[in-house]
Structure 1
């Protein structure tokens, strides 16, 4: 069993307007031998609010609400666990080996949140799950155990209800919310796998203000082409 099939459900968050990302993600799954069946493994249509309501941007709020929506769906289905990805996922070229090692060593581990993708590049000869001991500023490839669904859901609702700048954490990026929960609640068992299984694929952002190269209609296709070339090169090296 591979890292994708291991979990009760897999959801890939995608904004309906970003058909380019959806198609690239389908290609990424197919390239690595994974099948999107639109049931166990499928896309989750991202929430697209019209206002930021205290979040850094409308896109940041939409991302936050989308991850929350995936979690609520998992709770309605009474799942044992769920693997959550964003639609800019790019798997490591070693995903078959890394993923196998990750899920085998996950067996028997008492966990709440685990990161398969992260920003750390550790020189680790032996693959292992390490306790999260610093912020992980990404949420593109992670899993949540069913025993943590309620705690995480309740915390996210608390964040939504607080004003910006609240000492316990007001509206923020979703990855920051995960970090805050892990930091403030020592009973949450969070780990990351030392062998990085996946990265963010170069792609136009939906969370921040676009650069002039993405705003100008004549330049946007050129940027798209350059990002695809960069992604192709990265597939050879990481």
Structure 2
């Protein structure tokens, strides 16, 4: 069982990507090819991410853009009548795992109850180790490089919740302007009927890449440091792939 089999099970796969980040599209295409998924594919889409002119009450322009992009993905799924979608960030790294591990996660996706599944994440660092597949998780996660949602009610519920969050001030008890990661955690308690689970072990992480969400550090803004930083990230990603 491979990542290709897992991807094939979903109605549609979205890869959230800013149009000017051709570098990330190329790297993601190579990353998918590495695990046997060839792009272009009619069911795998580079989804045009949002880039607003101002951040409003959000931590940064990039955080608002990512929040808007994820909301638009869910709206697109609703408009297409999709019931099961996989959502990827364009800097994801698919972990090297035995086929049996991917098969176990896919089996649980097919046979267990879930609404939202965090398949690839940065935290928890130490997810539950007693089960290979999908595991219950009631505390926070960080990172949404690779996640799935199923059920028209869940898709609409999460979409509508995100719309409400964007209209509220930061610190609102039901969720206000924040990073998407925060809303990804809060939706479990704010939208009735959401069942949240995580993949154990984690299926995907994050490639080294210049951020589009947080404010850029000086070495990503000033030459020659920007070029040097880019070269170092490429070296780190090649080393990670072995």
User: TM-score when scaled to structure 1?
Assistant: 0.93
Pairs within 5 Å for 1:3-18: 3-18=6-21
Q: Which of 129, 150, 163 does residue 145 from structure 1 map onto?
A: 150
Distance 1:95 1:141 in 2: 18
CA 227–31 in structure 1, closer or farther in 2 if over 3 Å, else same: same
CA 30–127 in structure 1, closer or farther in 2 if over 3 Å, else same: same
Work out the number of aligned pairs and report it: 236
Distance 1:4 1:197 in 2: 12
Q: Which of 197, 201, 204 does residue 198 from structure 1 map onto?
A: 204
Larger CA deviation: 15-24 vs 33-42: 33-42
Q: Deviations over 1:106-132 (max 9, x none)?
A: 222111100111223347364031112
Q: Which of 210, 220, 225 does residue 219 from structure 1 map onto?
A: 225
CA 95–29 in structure 1, closer or farther in 2 if over 3 Å, else same: farther
Distance 1:69 1:103 in 2: 26
CA 173–162 in structure 1, closer or farther in 2 if over 3 Å, else same: same
Distance 2:217 2:155 in 1: 37
Contact 2:128 2:135 in 1 (8 A): no
Larger CA deviation: 118-127 vs 31-40: 118-127
What secondary structure, in the 3-state scheme, does the structure 2 residue paired with 1:192 have?
strand
CA 122–136 in structure 1, closer or farther in 2 if over 3 Å, else same: closer
Alignment pair present for 1:164 and 2:164: no
Larger CA deviation: 126-135 vs 89-98: 89-98
Aligned to 1:59: 62
Larger CA deviation: 93-102 vs 203-212: 93-102
Contact 1:129 1:191 in 2 (8 A): yes
What secondary structure, in the 3-state scheme, does the structure 2 residue paired with 1:167 have?
coil
User: TM-score when scaled to structure 2?
Assistant: 0.92
- Aligned-residue offset at 1:96: 4.2
Contact 1:116 1:193 in 2 (8 A): yes
**Structure 1 gap segments, 5+ residues each:** none
**Structure 2 gap segments, 5+ residues each:** none
Contact 1:28 1:91 in 2 (8 A): yes
Distance 1:199 1:33 in 2: 18
- Aligned-residue offset at 1:186: 6.0
Distance 2:218 2:179 in 1: 24
Q: CA RMSD in A?
A: 1.7
Distance 2:82 2:161 in 1: 19
